[in-house]
Amino acid sequence: MSRLNVILVIMVIIGAVVISSFGATAMQRLQAGFLSVISPFLKTGSAVQRQIGAMGEGLQTLDQLERENEELKAENKELRASNQIYRDLEAENSKLRSALEYRKRSIFKLLPARIISRDASAWWSTVRINRGFEDGVESDQPVLTDMGLVGKTTTVAKNESIVLLISDESCKVASKVEGSNERGILSGRRIGEGEVPTEMQLNFLSKKANLQPGQKVYTEGVAKGTSTGVFPSGIFLGTVKSFQARPLDGQAIVEPAVDLSTVEDVFVVVGAK
Amino acid sequence: MRLAIGWFSLAVAIFLTIVIQEFIPPLRFLHGARVFLVPMLFCYGALSMPFWAMLLMAIYTGLLTDLAHLNVVNGHVEIALGWSIVVFVFFGLFAHGLQPAFVRGRWWVHVPLSLVCTCVFLALQFVMISFRRQGIFFNETVAWRILAPGVIAAGFAPLVHLAVLKIAPYVHGPTRLRPFRRIRQ
């Protein structure tokens, strides 16, 4: 290799090291720009994929009826998701009516979004949705469906956002178990652990918790500003599949409420109404 | 001019591959392994391009790959932007060492090279996120997710070569087409 080539290689490596020293915000900004560039391709691809899927299902109805049906379905899902939050908030409000900050708790504004693609990487569980900062989306906002929690936004571009799914090992959610005083941290399982890839683990429970299969797990809703304070209280996460006592704590395996591998329509909690 | 056409054709192919990969679901029968063809395409360019063009391609491919996979959780980046550039530069150096054989008509060197580079890239990614999380571990699923994309990429490698053979008469790209001419004879 000639001396010039060696110098070129060293320069490229130094350049890469400089780029890697950028802060997380700068990197997210670059990624947002990249997302905006690939967005038309992703949206086109998503539309084609949907059309192929619809053809595969053999659904052939009149365009108008189909459109109306889609709208009603979306509206129904939105109402069901709203209802869930209303119900949870109502229950919580009745308990905390006298609390000083109860005024701050209000109904959330849901922004309907569609998953346009899924991360092609082998190690992360993320999806991309067709809503960005132009629609009012910010990073670290909860994403859910009428069935339960899906994840939270991370990088937000103009018209797209990346959503980190709750089945990812790095997504941690403060959780509580229905019918008990047990609280823990829910996260995705390590790659290859468990029978189903989307199964989650609920850690830091008490050893004597003795949770039963079928018990429901909800978000705990820790104060904003902490690492686990992204999610409002009372969002359904999943059901306990099994429980085991470990030397220091108890661990439950939780089946997610939402089928994260097939979900297509979601809602972003963009704020209070 | 020919080199420029070849370089940009490959750059477009890599970009489109990154987009298309987003729509290919995980392969359940291979323990959730994904199709990952970017290192294979890069290796093809590295085998056929001059050194400086290979370096430019490494910067481009590395940056695009990192931007596509950047994962920021609670303000922390799991794998920093730019690390793939370094990895692709090393792949490129290795591929460049094999270039004389490739130019002499041994196009098949691209097949094992694609397998090795894809697997090494995924293994490095896995090691980095493992250290970031709860420490390194290894199981059957991890092995499948590293090896299967490599095998798939190796399977696609001859198709890329065939595609270039078909396109070569029109654009004479990516660059040194002597191996292809020999094969055609």
Which of these ranges, A184-198, B115-129, B145-159, has the smallest mean pLDDT? A184-198
Q: Give me the residues of A, 113-132, that contact B with CB < 8 A.
A: 117-124, 126, 128
Asked if B23 lies within 8 A of A117 by C-beta distance, the reply is: yes
Higher pLDDT, A60 or A101: A60
Handedness of CA B173, B84, B95, B25 (dihedral sign): negative
How are beta strands A250-256 and A200-205 bridged, if at all?
antiparallel
* pLDDT given at position B180: 42
pLDDT at B2 over 80: no
pLDDT tens profile B159-177: 988 888 887 777 665 545 4
The number of C-beta contacts closer than 8 angstroms across A and B is 149
Helix (H) or strand (E) holding A15: helix A3-20
* pLDDT given at position A95: 55
Among B74, B134, B141, the strongest candidate for a mutation testing the A interface, having the largest count of A CBs within 10 A, is B74
* pLDDT given at position B56: 93
Alpha-carbon distance A117 to nearest alpha carbon in chain B (angstroms) = 6
Asked if A8 lies within 8 A of B125 by C-beta distance, the reply is: no
Highest mean pLDDT among A218-232, B103-117, B122-136, B161-175: B103-117
Whether A139 and A268 have beta carbons less than 8 Å apart is answered as no
Alpha-carbon distance A187 to nearest alpha carbon in chain B (angstroms) = 12
Asked if B81 lies within 8 A of A154 by C-beta distance, the reply is: no
pLDDT at A227 over 80: no
Q: Chain A contacts of B139, Cβ < 8 Å?
A: 191-193
Burial B8-39 (b: 16+ CB within 10 A, else e): ebbbebbbebbbebbbeebbeebbbbbbbbbb
Mean pLDDT over A149-155 rounds to 91
B136 touches chain A (CB under 8 A): no
Q: Give me the residues of A, 73-102, that contact B with CB < 8 A.
A: none
Q: What is the pTM of this model?
A: 0.79
pLDDT at A106 over 50: no
Q: How far is CA A211 from CA A194, A239, A249, B26, in A?
A: 18, 11, 13, 32
Q: Give me the residues of B, 142-161, that contact A with CB < 8 A.
A: 142, 145-146, 149
A251 touches chain B (CB under 8 A): no
* pLDDT given at position A82: 76
B11 touches chain A (CB under 8 A): no
Alpha-carbon distance A95 to nearest alpha carbon in chain B (angstroms) = 31
* pLDDT given at position B156: 93
Outline where A170-211 has alpha helix (H). Answer: none
pLDDT tens profile A188-217: 888 767 666 778 899 899 888 878 888 999
* pLDDT given at position A229: 66
Q: Tell me what the pLDDT averaged over chain A comes to.
A: 82
Phi, psi of B103 (to 5 degrees): -65, -30
pLDDT tens profile A9-68: 999 999 999 998 888 888 888 988 998 888 888 888 888 877 777 776 655 566 778 888
B34 touches chain A (CB under 8 A): yes
A196 touches chain B (CB under 8 A): no
Nearest by CB to residue B145, choosing from A13, A45, A191, is A191
* pLDDT given at position B89: 94
* pLDDT given at position B177: 46
**Total length of chain B:** 185
pLDDT at A101 over 70: no
In whole angstroms, give the CA distance from residue A40 to residue A43.
5
* pLDDT given at position A94: 60
Q: How is A209-239 classified by DSSP, letter by letter? A: ----TT-EEEE--PPBTBTTTTSPTT-EEEE
Among A1, A25, A139, A170, the strongest candidate for a mutation testing the B interface, having the largest count of B CBs within 10 A, is A170
Which of these ranges, A224-233, A255-264, B37-46, has the smallest mean pLDDT? A224-233
A203 touches chain B (CB under 8 A): no
